[in-house]
Amino acid sequence: MPPPRCWQSSAVTDRGHSDGGHSDGGHSDRGHGGGALSGNTLGALFMCASMFLFAVEDALFKSVAPALPPGEATLIFGITATALYIVVTLRAREPLLHPAILRPTLIARTSFEIVGRLFFALALAYTPLSVTSSILQAAPLVVTAGAALLLKERVGPARWTAMAVGFVGVLLILRPTPEAFRIDALLAVAGMVGFAMRDLFTRASPPAVSANQLGVIGCSVIIVAGLVMLPFDPDPLRVPRAGELVRLVLTGLVGATGYFALTKAMRAGDVSVIAPFRYSRLLVALGFAFVFFGERPDLWTLAGGLLIVTSGIYTLIRSR
């Protein structure tokens, strides 16, 4: 069954569109000389930047999680990120909400964003950072499959093989055991699926909706996720201490910046090429887990990280 027409048109139009108003002539995957970066190279750079910022966001959020209920922490984080995006959008003289917000692709994107934010926040609160970050790395497999099946992007055997190698790297880090499939690990799996589908619908969203407007929607969703979680928080609400509040505000600022970079990345080139660079988040997260939370990555973890990075670089080279 072919994808809905709105998906087909968005997938095509995005090739010749960027949020800054520049066009690459309809070829996101090819360089044109003159030192200009191809769409896929630019997308990979934005993806790496966004993954670094998200790893910082995760570490900051987790550092507060033992002291504050997850719903309250998520709510404060969402308010900060949304406020930043509102300011940026108004300064760009753009309306906060685009009329296309009610299109099916954006409604689906928002719904999956809620799923991802809600379950990933719970995973950060109750699961080791190294485990949560490792499970998140399965997202490119979901994105690649969706890009091939729904957006009709061509994904050849070489790219599928590279993606499989990256997934083997994740398995080396996880080394599936009965412990790896605890309830808290399933929270991370649910969050991963939500984020992967969000990214796919970001690609399919109308190009007239800017990165700033997508950010306003996405960060507002964090507030919704926090409100949904509040009734289920194990502890009552309390006023955050100064240090906790500062870290949560920083979490929102860093997360909003990473969100902007992610939106740029998913619109710059082929999803199936850019998605593997999500794996860079794992390396940063493992470093933070070691330095700040006393988690000790072993040889298997380091070997898995090497496979993950190698697969992403190979996928980019193969696409050019």
76, 222 Cβ separation under 8 angstroms:
no
pLDDT of 260 reads: 84
Q: Report the pLDDT value the prediction gives residue 58, as an integer from 0 to 100.
A: 93
Model confidence at 266: pLDDT above 90: no
Assess whether pLDDT exceeds 60 at residue 312. Answer: yes
User: Which tokens belong to 59?
Assistant: 């570490």
Under the banding of pLDDT at 50, 70 and 90, the label for residue 204 is confident
Round to whole Å and give the CA distance between 247 and 46: 24
CA distances for 44 relative to 33, 132, 212, 301, angstroms: 18, 23, 20, 23
Specify the residue for token string 């095509």: 12
Each residue of 18-71: pLDDT tens digit? 333 333 333 344 444 445 668 888 998 999 999 999 999 999 999 998 889 999
Residue 76, pLDDT score: 93
Is 214 within 8 Å of 14 (Cβ atoms)? no
Which pLDDT belongs to residue 90?
Answer: 94
pLDDT of res. 316: 63
Q: Report the mean per-residue pLDDT for the chain.
A: 79
Name the 3-class secondary structure at 120.
helix
Question: Residue 5: pLDDT above 70?
Answer: no
6-31: pLDDT as tens digits: 333 333 333 333 333 333 333 344 44
pLDDT at residue 179, rounded to an integer: 59
Q: Tens digits of per-residue pLDDT, 120-143?
A: 999 998 888 888 888 887 777 777
Confidence tier at 280 by pLDDT (50, 70, 90):
confident
Report which of 222, 218, 198, 205 is spatially closest to residue 259, judged by C-alpha positions. Answer: 218
Question: DSSP secondary-structure letter at 100?
Answer: G
Average pLDDT over residues 162-171: 81
CA neighbours closer than 13 Å in the CB half-sphere of residue 192: 21
Question: Which one of 10-14, 146-150, 244-248 scores highest in mean pLDDT?
Answer: 244-248
What per-residue confidence (pLDDT) applies to 60?
94
Q: Is the pLDDT of residue 156 over 90?
A: no
Long-range Cβ pairs for the range 100-103 (8 Å, 24+): 100/205, 100/206, 100/208, 100/209, 101/209, 101/217, 103/6, 103/205, 103/206
Q: Average pLDDT, stretch 244-261?
A: 91
H or E segment and range at residue 185: helix 183-204
For range 162-190, the mean pLDDT: 75
Is the pLDDT confidence value at 319 over 80? Answer: no
The whole-number pLDDT of residue 73 equals: 93
Place of tokens 């080279």: 317
Q: Which residue has the higher pLDDT, 297 or 157?
A: 157
- CA–CA gap between residue 184 and residue 10 (Å, rounded): 36
Mean pLDDT value across residues 235-263: 90
Q: Are 113 and 218 in contact (CB under 8 A)?
A: yes
| Residue of 23 and 183 predicted with greater confidence | 183
Q: How confident is the model at residue 154 (pLDDT cuts 50, 70, 90)?
A: confident
Statement: residue 146 has pLDDT above 60: yes
